[in-house]
């Protein structure tokens, strides 16, 4: 149950003055549905204005506050023309207050001729006239202007204005309760932070970097604590100790000997699975490092111990691909592997469901369909989750209810994750790393070139196809966007390449119907099509050994980790492979560094760390690369700086300060509910 002290923060925004159905819509659009959302809707920046006596004291482009007397109104000749209100400063300099559209009605009301007003806004020049376009504030003489000198600028949606949002935030802050302190006293003192409520007030006034750090720390502490509670609870659960005898694994006929990293990871997994406490382990592997083999070895341990295993994939394409490769590898062992997706119907589906129930199916591969209520297992004791970042902690916990006892869970990701983010997103998992490539993997030559080289590149493609090779061509968007940027769209590029290569070209993107997507992928995988034009839906898991060329258009729009993922789609066969990074005319300094790093390195772990440094506050591992971080308050810099401290603080609470018992424990419980990490509380018996 949520502590009563938090109830005011979880009240709906309609409880505030002035919020009705009309205003609720744009607030909902921004995710501001409760008072809690408003108090944490921190300003994106602050506008600092200087108070001046006359415009002579101000520079063009400067934000100012000055007193003006209205002398004349000049309406435009048409509804689209600007509406100007001329006004004088104290020495007679003329300034035009310029309005467009419906705003002119406001100007007529606020600025009658002869009136004196305080006006705040940016001073600009238009021809030989000084002007302020759409003043930020117009206040009657004697009105409160000094507070306007440092003004928060909030993220808005259509139908909201800065003053309106600022007013609602002020109302919400006034209702925010005093909360007990959950930060470890020594850490609190050393950081020179203020209490939670004061920190919120200061953060909205722009007076304190420390205030924002404190609020970010709270969020990071809540996350660390929740994951530790999940982990502690998992260790108390009773799973099935699984010990294999090697009878199935000994029959595997792998094309390459296992790498040291694979052997180490398998040993760690084997040790975990032999325990009664269910395994919760994350397997991080660079592109092509052989995660599937490790997963198969882990699942065969379960089969040898007389239990069943399941592999959960995020998409149907990936599920089918995993099924094919696992079935092929497991064939000599005699283990029965089946596929189950949401699209399976009729007798085939019934047969699979029966096989899972009677135990004749050892390993099942599929999408979320494998965990539907109607799917029952004889003895599910081991679950592998592929592309872990697509499944949250809640889904990881859900798996615990499927077996007779909580199953062992191995989560896998092909995105090498820097330590900081591993802590943030997977704090409740032990981590194994595959940081070596199997001996057969070829290095991929990476070339960076401008878009103007596309005609020559198309000829290079023709030569590849003549040799029987295949290629990928990845675009950042599906359709052309309106606007100044010429964005290469998959559909436009597909049309152009189809004109050149005919039916040898297929296309896949996220907006295609699943069956059309699958049909195109299957044609390409079979070799019936030479070129696959795609958006980033092909970034993970697609395995076509005959594809030796990857073209990534507008490569500067992608994060390093994502470019590395895409590049990893080639170089899977015995032939030399290439990756071409095409870029637009203008490249930012960050984009130049990113593309240079891609040319120089094929180490995914190094690239992930560098990406984190380059991206700063941007999306953390590339465009949607590893799901959004679980944080809405903490910025990238704050995560890097404060997360290790918050993690240690959470450990102190759990190991020294009695967990959620006692005075600090009560405060920590409030923190978990405040940030809606209460799944951590619920894992506690009776919590």
The pLDDT tens digits for 63-107 are 999 999 999 999 877 878 899 999 999 999 999 999 988 778 888
pTM tops 0.85, yes or no: no
Tell the burial category of 211 from Cβ atoms under 10 Å away from its Cβ (0-12, 13-18, 19+).
buried
pLDDT digits (tens, 9 = 90+) for 436-488: 877 767 789 999 999 999 999 999 999 999 999 999 999 886 554 433 333 45
Instruction: State both tokens at 639.
Output: 């995560």
Among 168-172, 438-442, 529-533, the least confident range:
438-442
**pLDDT value, residue 345:** 82
What residues form DSSP beta bridges with 471? Answer: 531, 549
What is the CA angle 73-78-80, rounded to 5?
95
CB 187 within 8 A of CB 645: yes
The bridge status of strand 380-385 relative to strand 408-413 is parallel
Q: What is the mean pLDDT of the chain?
A: 85
* Tokens 């995993």 belong to residue: 322
* Tokens 């309760």 belong to residue: 177
| Chain centre distance of CA 434 | 23
Checking if the pLDDT of 550 tops 60, the result is yes
The enclosing H or E element of 243 equals none
Of 160, 171, 159, 111, the residue nearest 135 (C-alpha): 111
> Which residues does 277 contact at the CB level (< 8 Å), separation at least 6?
234, 235, 236, 237, 238, 239
Of 440, 461, 414, 433, the residue nearest 572 (C-alpha): 440
pLDDT digits (tens, 9 = 90+) for 114-137: 999 999 999 999 999 999 999 988
CB 410 within 8 A of CB 298: yes
* Tokens 């539907």 belong to residue: 372
Higher pLDDT, 515 or 652: 652
Instruction: State both tokens at 191.
Output: 């950081």
Q: Provide the 3-class DSSP secondary structure of residue 53.
A: coil
Instruction: State both tokens at 611.
Output: 């990406």
Checking if the pLDDT of 538 tops 90, the result is no
Of 614, 607, 646, the residue nearest 630 (C-alpha): 646
What is the spatial distance between Cα 266 and Cα 369, in angstroms, rounded to a whole number? 28
Checking if the pLDDT of 259 tops 70, the result is yes
Among 87-91, 276-280, 680-684, the least confident range:
680-684
Give how far Cα 151 sits from Cα of 65, 137, 174, 321, 442, Å: 12, 11, 18, 54, 56
Q: Helix 162-175 and helix 196-205: axis angle, to 10°? A: 170
**DSSP letter (8 states) at residue 401:** G
pLDDT digits (tens, 9 = 90+) for 588-635: 888 898 899 999 988 888 887 787 777 653 333 222 333 345 688 988
Higher pLDDT, 299 or 659: 299
Alpha helices in 315-466 (DSSP H): 316-330, 346-358, 393-398, 419-426, 454-466
CB 562 within 8 A of CB 287: no
- Please state the φ and ψ torsions of residue 471, each to the nearest 5 degrees: -150, 155
> Which residues does 523 contact at the CB level (< 8 Å), separation at least 6?
506, 529
- Please state the φ and ψ torsions of residue 628, each to the nearest 5 degrees: -70, 155
Residue 38, by phi and psi: left (phi above 0), alpha (psi -120 to 50) or beta? alpha
**DSSP letter (8 states) at residue 622:** B
**pLDDT value, residue 625:** 31
Give how far Cα 496 sits from Cα of 390, 488, 501, 521, 533, Å: 34, 11, 9, 20, 11
What is the spatial distance between Cα 642 and Cα 633, in angstroms, rounded to a whole number? 12
- Please state the φ and ψ torsions of residue 254, each to the nearest 5 degrees: -90, 145
Tell the burial category of 614 from Cβ atoms under 10 Å away from its Cβ (0-12, 13-18, 19+).
middle
Task: Tell me the residue length of the chain.
Answer: 687
């Amino acid at each position: 149950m949520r502590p009563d002290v938090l109830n005011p923060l979880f009240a709906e925004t309609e409880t505030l003055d002035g919020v009705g159905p009309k205003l609720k819509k744009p607030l909902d659009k921004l995710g501001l549905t409760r008072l809690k959302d408003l108090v944490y809707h921190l300003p994106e920046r602050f506008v600092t204005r200087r108070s001046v006596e006359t415009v002579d004291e101000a520079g063009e482009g400067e934000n100012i506050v000055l007193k003006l007397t209205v002398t004349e109104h000049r309406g435009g000749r048409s509804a689209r023309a600007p509406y100007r209100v001329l006004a004088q400063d104290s020495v007679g300099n003329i300034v035009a207050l310029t309005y467009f559209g419906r705003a002119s009605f406001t100007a007529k009301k606020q600025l009658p001729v002869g009136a004196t007003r305080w006006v705040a806004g940016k001073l600009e020049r238009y021809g030989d006239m000084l002007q302020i376009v759409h003043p930020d504030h117009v206040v009657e003489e004697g009105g409160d202007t000094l507070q306007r000198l440092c003004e928060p600028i909030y993220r808005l949606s259509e139908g909201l204005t800065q003053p309106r949002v600022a007013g609602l935030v002020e109302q919400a802050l006034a209702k925010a309760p005093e909360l007990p302190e959950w930060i470890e006293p020594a850490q609190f003192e050393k950081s020179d932070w203020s209490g939670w409520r004061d920190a919120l007030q200061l953060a909205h006034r722009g007076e304190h970097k420390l205030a924002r750090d404190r609020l970010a720390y709270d969020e990071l502490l809540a996350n660390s604590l929740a994951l530790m509670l999940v982990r502690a609870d998992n260790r108390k659960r009773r799973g099935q100790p699984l010990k294999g005898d090697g009878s199935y694994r000994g029959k595997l006929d792998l094309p390459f000997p296992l790498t040291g990293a694979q052997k180490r990871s398998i040993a760690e997994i084997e040790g975990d699975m032999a325990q009664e406490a269910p395994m919760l382990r994350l397997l991080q592997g660079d592109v092509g490092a052989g995660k599937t083999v490790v997963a198969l070895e882990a699942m065969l341990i379960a089969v040898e111990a007389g239990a069943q295993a399941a592999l959960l994939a995020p998409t149907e394409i990936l599920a089918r691909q995993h099924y094919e490769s696992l079935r092929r590898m497991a064939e000599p062992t005699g283990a029965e592997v089946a596929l189950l997706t949401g699209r399976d119907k009729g007798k085939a589906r019934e047969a699979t469901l029966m096989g899972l129930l009677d135990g004749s199916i050892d390993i099942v591969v599929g999408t979320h369909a494998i965990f539907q209520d109607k799917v029952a297992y004889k003895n599910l004791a081991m679950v592998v989750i592929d592309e872990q970042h697509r499944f949250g902690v809640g889904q990881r916990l859900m798996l615990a209810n499927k077996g007779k006892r909580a199953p062992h869970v191995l989560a896998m990701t092909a995105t090498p994750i820097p330590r900081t983010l591993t802590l943030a997103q997977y704090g409740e998992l032990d981590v194994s790393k595959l940081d070596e490539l199997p001996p057969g993997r070829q290095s991929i030559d990476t070339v960076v070139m401008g878009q103007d080289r596309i005609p020559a590149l198309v000829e290079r493609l023709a030569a590849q196809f003549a040799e029987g090779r295949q290629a990928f061509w990845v675009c950042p968007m599906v359709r052309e966007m309106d606007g100044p940027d010429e964005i290469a769209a998959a559909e436009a590029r597909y049309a152009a390449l189809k004109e050149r290569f005919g039916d040898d070209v297929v296309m896949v993107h996220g907006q295609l119907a699943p069956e059309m997507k699958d049909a195109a992928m299957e044609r390409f995988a079979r070799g019936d099509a030479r070129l696959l034009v795609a958006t980033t839906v092909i970034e993970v898991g697609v395995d076509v050994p005959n594809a030796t060329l990857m073209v990534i258009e507008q490569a500067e729009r992608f994060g390093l980790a994502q470019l590395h993922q895409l590049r990893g789609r080639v170089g899977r066969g015995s032939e030399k492979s290439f990756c071409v990074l095409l870029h637009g005319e203008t490249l930012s300094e960050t984009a130049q560094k990113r593309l240079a790093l891609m040319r120089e390195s094929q180490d995914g772990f190094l690239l992930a760390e560098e990406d984190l440094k380059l991206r700063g506050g941007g999306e953390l591992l590339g465009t949607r690369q590893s799901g959004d971080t679980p944080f809405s308050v903490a910025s990238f810099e704050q995560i890097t700086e404060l997360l290790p401290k918050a993690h240690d603080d959470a450990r102190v609470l759990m190991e020294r300060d009695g967990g959620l018992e006692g005075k600090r424990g009560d405060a920590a419980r409030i923190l978990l509910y405040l940030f809606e990490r209460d799944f951590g509380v619920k894992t506690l018996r009776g919590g």
